[in-house]
Chain A
């Protein structure tokens, strides 16, 4: 008797297969000697892989099935998030084309790490099993730890890599211990079986094991989505990491972690909602307050966006607390909007880091409105959108979030979002004012230490002539940043477009929201 081979749904697995194959090809292509192939061929192959993954995800749109013995879900929520990861990664590849970090760490390795991180996100977004949740988290985090440290000559980058590694691993270990407790309480690792066990066995919801498990899982997830009070690593890591990596990390990690968050809590643990919703609501409010207050005094743009991302994590947590279809819809919509507006802002920061000697300081934006309107407009739109000003995508996103909280019976969380947004206007408008209301500063002769080179400038200048040239460039010196400008304009335009015509994106978010089968 020959054993029956299990049925493998290759169509459902195709995005994962494409990413795995692409990662291997990119890593191998990086080994070739030709400089042109490494510099342009590897990014091109990476873009092809990501494009193919996005295409396969669109192809699988509308499917609703569970594959690999029900451990992975292929549904619209997973596919929607796949598209977000691919968009974030494509933007990161384009922004990194002339960055020093792939140069220093090897193009093949850098891009292969990026692809494996996207692979981890894809796995996490469709996880239907505790084992897969943990595996997905680690698969997305471990490459990111390395990518943060890829500016090998810049001590800040190495420091941020080590900090992220330690804090991220503590988060993972806490999460894992929580997952073990849930397994111990319910005796199952599949989300559906956990939900069945929690609803059928009396007293299991208030079992000490379940409660400890939920508490530890919440802590682990808060580390990953950078929610208060587990947010302290965020500003340091965002500032120290190479900016294209920061851009990718900020938008894609958040989307993946919230995808897993919503699946685990709103599907597997939904019957224990009375126990976890007050906890999550408190974390959401704490994040909104801490993030917005922390951002008020920042002068580094990357740190400012890091604090703002803590506040935004609080807004999005409110949608998880609501735990109904409308909440998931609002979350999916907001994640897409968050991606668009943050990528526009980060693209401008990348361009200005190379054009001015101020690094990512807010001074690098001074007078941008007059000198580079093609960069100033996307940044303005991104800031207004993050603050939630009408006619931008961020307004529609906040509007749906607040609508979901009010309909879900958490009006006070909606009020917290509104108050947080009002507070955030101060620091977002400070950036806008720096661009349009101040003059171009004259840099002092020797004072500037650009973030892009730092450490030992002589070494860097010798190793990378492009960066050496960028160091001496005054604010008026025309340096072509065509690809960063293109990314900024594209996502800036998208911010405006989805602010005026949100319905195409909203239809996608509605499909994604109904995938979980909530009321």
Chain B
């Protein structure tokens, strides 16, 4: 199959993730969308690794998975801490700090 299809799916997933981060308000859903963005990159990396016939991209993807897990863990930790302070778990309501 042509690599273009894999890239198209990957780009679609990336855009879904980026759009979700922009419009969703629940931090948990935002974390999910961040995962989508990272996994879109993983798909592209693995597809490119197959295209070039080298293992570099697959190793890269494995490392990204580890990092993504760390990021989600930290994100959930912060959300739990916010929940304990009984702050609203809604990013639009978190506006004590105004840009």
Q: Which residues of A contact B (CB under 8 A)?
A: 130-131, 134-135, 138, 142, 145-146, 149, 152-153, 155-156, 158-163, 165-166, 169-170, 172-174, 176-177, 179-181, 183-184, 187-189, 232-233, 235-236, 239-240, 455
Contact = CB atoms under 8 A, between A and B. Distances in A.
Contacts of A235: 97, 99
A180 B45 contact: yes
B44 A158 contact: no
Given A170-B34, A184-B47, A232-B99, 12 more contacts: A131-B59, A134-B60, A146-B74, A149-B78, A159-B87, A162-B27, A162-B75, A169-B71, A173-B14, A180-B41, A189-B60, A239-B97
B34 A169 contact: yes
A162 B78 contact: yes
Nearest to A159: B94
Contacts of A165: 71, 74-75, 78
Contacts, number: 130
Given A166-B27, A184-B48, A176 B38 contact: yes
B23 to A, nearest CB: 13
B78 A145 contact: yes
Interface string B47-73: 110011010110110011001001100
B interface secondary structure, majority? helix
B34 A173 contact: yes
A177 B18 CA distance: 12
A162 B14 CA distance: 21
A183 B81 contact: no
Contact of A163 (B38, B44, B51, B97): B97
A131 B63 contact: yes
A176 B64 contact: yes
Given A131-B60, A165-B78, A236 B97 contact: yes
B71 A155 contact: no
A236 B45 contact: no
30 contacts: A130-B60, A134-B60, A135-B67, A142-B74, A158-B82, A159-B94, A159-B97, A162-B79, A162-B82, A163-B94, A165-B75, A169-B34, A169-B71, A169-B75, A170-B21, A170-B37, A173-B17, A173-B34, A173-B41, A177-B37, A180-B48, A183-B45, A183-B56, A183-B57, A183-B60, A184-B47, A188-B56, A232-B99, A236-B97, A239-B97
